[in-house]
Amino acid sequence: MGGERQPHVVVIGGGTGLGVLLRGMKHHPLELTAIVTVADDGGSSGRLRTDLQMPPPGDIRNVLLALADAEPLLKSIFEYRFQNGDGLRGHAVGNLILAAMKDITGDFTQAIKELSRVLAVRGRVLPASEQDVVLVAEMTDGTIVRGESQIPKSGKKIRKVYLEPPNPRPLEEAIQAIEDADLIVIGPGSLYTSVIPNLLVKGMAEAIRSSRAEKVYIGNVMTQPGETCGYTAHDHLAVIEQHMGGRIIDTVLLNSEIPEVSILKPYAEEGSEPVFPDCERLIESGYHVIADNFIQYQDQVIRHNAQRLSQHLLRIVRA
């Protein structure tokens, strides 16, 4: 890339997976932009969304903290959830601060930018859209389920998801970031409720498809109860293609390590199992596949190994 500019990397997703990845990537000489889902409607985020007619702040808060260079105490304050208090119980302080900042600045994206300065964030954090959107799922039996938090609870198999209203306006800055990118990373995260909602925003899939950047999908380590039970890695990609009307991914990063049996037991009780890396099928379908041990354990929970993912992503962007 030469010494004149850092590679521009755009990461698209939501949920905990995105934060884990960004914690690893922020220590490298990259210009980072995170485009974050705004379809969340559960918990503190959902309540603020309903009460204040604002985009849900939870995933944005997670990503800001992942990219922050702030003091640990400040991060702890942002993560703190009230245990008691009428109306306060369950709210994360960071969500309330984002809500207050939106009221002060009159603009959600501006609120994120101001907070990014306060938290010394490395990179940019952008919502996929500032419009109020609802994620809707059509199940294989024809049932319709509304709301990101309700979809995994239905106990039915998902046929497709879509946004209401359809084609919400994208954030121009997000589209511009995709056009300027050297590398676009999609995932990791819940397939139907964290990854695809971003791609359904108007113009997003087209911008990704026409971008000259290398497009990488980071496969999930475990299947998700109520969303992807029994899905292989190839199944995940097939769902993205189905929703995007064709191929948008070039390279797939897959975990090939089988997690420890003792760690898998609680997952199995919830109906979650390791995603089978059917590499040959993906290669036959025209994807470039990189399989490696991408897992690490954190308090008996399986997480992506952000350091190892970052090393592979750096190799791709430098190549």
d(CA 126, CA 202): 15
What's the mean pLDDT in 79-107?
Answer: 93
pLDDT of 62 over the 60 cut: yes
Question: Domain segments of the chain: what residues?
Answer: 8-38+128-318, 41-125
Q: Please check the confidence at residue 80 and state whether its pLDDT lies above 70.
A: yes
What b/e readout covers 280-303, taking b as 16+ CB neighbours within 10 angstroms? ebbeeeebebbbeebbeeeeeebb
Q: Tell me: pLDDT of 4 over 70.
A: no
**42-51, 221-230, 244-253, 282-291: least confident range:** 42-51
Angle in degrees, CA 23, 54, 164, rounded to 5: 95
Residue 159 and residue 140 in contact, taking contact as beta carbons nearer than 8 Å: yes
**Residue pLDDT, tens place only, 146-190:** 999 999 999 999 999 999 999 999 999 999 999 999 999 999 999
Q: Whole-number mean pLDDT of the chain?
A: 94
User: According to the model, what pLDDT value does residue 314 have?
Assistant: 96
What mean pLDDT do residues 103-118 have? 94
Query: Which pLDDT band, with edges at 50, 70 and 90, does 2 fall under?
Result: very low
Residues whose CB is less than 8 angstroms from the CB of residue 110 and which lie 6 or more positions away in sequence, other chains included:
none
CATH class of the domain defined by 8-38+128-318: alpha beta
What is residue 5's predicted lDDT score, i.e. its pLDDT?
84
Q: Is the pLDDT of residue 1 over 50?
A: no
